[in-house]
């Protein structure tokens, strides 16, 4: 039997062996802390470019110290049934799990693209379990907030598109990235009846137990923040639009000293770009942009990474860890994880590169 040496250091960008010595396979992930154990959920990737689609499901690992992760297996498995929304070969990205104290259930949300449709479906999906590690039961996929208007648009925009607007919008052939002529006040109107587009996403549970789905919408041009129902299973219908026309994805939201912080990226596919940050006194805004939180060499490319989660470390004052992916789209399984400490100057976050670091960083600084 091989003995795996215990880890006590983070090595951003390096292979990260699990308890079996295998590189952790949980990309676009998020962390749930439940009863003293951390659970890391992420996309299980396979080798090659095929790994950019979902062939296995959502992988779960557990840890009590954040360095050493035990493979807990596949929490949500893709289906072999061609009629299933989560049939093998579709796209399952950025899974996040939250625990609903009101129901006792563990609820997973993820970005879902239907097989053979590239990124056109732009749906979100849910799954549920009685235990953190699963197996999770797939519930449904949908576009959020059908039949509801955002809370922060003027009444004069609460109307369907005119035939002229529809025609101009269709002719733009939007592709999920910045596009000249992108209309900042039309796509949510087009999608009012059928539900709002939902791609990159995260979840956030506030101190009062209210949960939120933060997702790239309107062909990635506008970020939506949507409150969930009390059981965390559906959008409540209360939602708002932010940063219209600015094309944010990879959202990660956290709270510090009563303020809400949002980290995100621009939209350049698998290629890295400059991270972004914003702060607000209320999750409903107004949000103030703070620019790229990364500093130092390669900051303009987020150290070749893209945000996926911010983890507050309980028991250590003011300790927040930035979790990002360094994608390897040509060999998806080789994607690396960048975990870096977040510092604050007054209320502005900064993220600096370290080849290696450990949690004493937070107590020694
Ligand atoms: C960037 C997103 O953040 C990823 O989750 C993934 O959707 C890729 N784009 C696909 O190009």
pLDDT tens string 350-361: 999 999 999 999
Mean pLDDT along residues 311-325 = 96
Question: For residue 5, is pLDDT > 90?
Answer: no
Give residue 361's pLDDT.
98
Beta bridge partners of 128: 107, 137
CA of residue 35 relative to chain centroid, distance: 23
SS3 237: strand
Give residue 63's pLDDT.
98
Question: For residue 1, is pLDDT > 60?
Answer: no
Secondary structure letter of residue 160 according to DSSP: P
Q: How far is the CA of 220 from the centre of ligand 1 (A)?
A: 11
Nearest CA to ligand 1 atom 11: 269
Give the tokens for residue 287: 């949000």
Question: For residue 38, is pLDDT > 90?
Answer: yes
Write the pLDDT tens digit of every residue in 210-249. 999 999 999 999 999 999 999 999 999 999 999 999 999 9
Distance between CA atoms of residues 290 and 286, nearest Å:
13
Any atom of ligand 1 within 6 Å of the Cβ of 93: yes
Write the pLDDT tens digit of every residue in 168-212. 999 999 999 999 999 999 999 999 999 999 999 999 999 999 999
Give the tokens for residue 95: 């899974």
Q: How many CA atoms lie within 13 A of 122 on its CB side?
A: 21
Question: Cα separations (Å) of 297 from 185, 245, 264, 343?
Answer: 37, 28, 19, 17
Any atom of ligand 1 within 6 Å of the Cβ of 28: yes
- Domain extents for the chain? 250-365
What sign for the dihedral angle of Cα 129, 132, 135, 139? positive
Any atom of ligand 1 within 6 Å of the Cβ of 269: yes
Pick the CATH number of 250-365 from 3.40.1010.10, 3.40.309.10, 2.115.10.20, 3.10.105.10: 2.115.10.20
| Nearest to 39, CA basis, from 78, 80, 8, 70 | 70
Distance between CA atoms of residues 161 and 184, nearest Å:
13
- Full-model pTM: 0.98
Mutate which of 49, 93, 122 for ligand 1? The one with the most ligand atoms within 8 Å of its CB, which is: 93
Percent of the chain at pLDDT exceeding 90: 98
Residues 330 and 296: beta-carbon distance below 8 Å: no
Give residue 2's pLDDT.
60
| Nearest to 109, CA basis, from 91, 126, 134, 85 | 126
- Mean pLDDT score of the chain, rounded to an integer? 97
Write the pLDDT tens digit of every residue in 97-153. 999 999 999 999 999 999 889 999 999 999 999 999 999 999 999 999 999 999 999
């Amino acid at each position: 039997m091989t003995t795996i040496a215990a880890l006590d250091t983070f090595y951003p960008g390096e292979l990260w062996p699990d308890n079996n010595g295998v590189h952790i396979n949980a990309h676009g992930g998020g962390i749930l802390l439940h009863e003293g154990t951390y659970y890391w959920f992420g996309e299980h990737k396979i080798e090659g470019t095929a790994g950019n689609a979902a062939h296995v499901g959502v992988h779960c690992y557990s840890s009590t110290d954040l360095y050493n992760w035990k493979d807990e297996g596949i929490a949500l498995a893709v289906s072999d049934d061609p009629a299933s929304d989560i049939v093998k070969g579709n796209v399952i990205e950025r899974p996040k799990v939250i625990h609903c104290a009101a129901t006792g259930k563990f609820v997973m949300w993820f970005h879902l693209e239907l097989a053979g449709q590239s990124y056109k479906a732009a749906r979100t999906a849910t799954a549920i379990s009685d235990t953190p590690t699963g197996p999770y039961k797939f519930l449904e996929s949908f576009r959020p907030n059908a039949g509801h208007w955002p809370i922060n648009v003027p009444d004069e925009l609460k109307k369907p598109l005119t035939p002229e607007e529809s025609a101009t919008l269709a002719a733009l052939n939007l592709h999920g990235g910045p596009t000249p002529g992108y209309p900042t006040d039309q796509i949510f109107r087009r999608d009012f009846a059928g539900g709002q587009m939902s791609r990159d996403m995260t979840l956030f549970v506030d101190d009062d137990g209210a949960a939120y789905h933060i997702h790239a919408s309107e062909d990635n041009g506008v970020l939506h923040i949507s409150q969930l129902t009390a059981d965390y299973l559906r959008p409540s219908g209360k939602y708002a639009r932010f940063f219209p026309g600015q094309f944010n994805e990879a959202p990660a939201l956290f709270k510090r000293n009563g303020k809400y912080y949002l980290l995100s990226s621009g939209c350049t596919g698998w290629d890295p770009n400059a991270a972004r940050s914003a702060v607000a006194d209320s999750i409903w805004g107004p949000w103030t942009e703070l620019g790229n939180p990364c500093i130092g060499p390669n900051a303009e490319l987020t150290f070749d990474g893209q945000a996926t989660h911010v983890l507050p470390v309980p028991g250590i004052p003011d300790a927040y860890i930035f979790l990002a992916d360094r994608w390897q789209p040509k060999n998806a399984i080789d994607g690396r994880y960048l975990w870096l400490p977040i510092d604050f100057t007054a209320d502005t976050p900064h993220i600096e590169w370290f080849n290696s670091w450990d949690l004493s960083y937070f107590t020694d600084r």
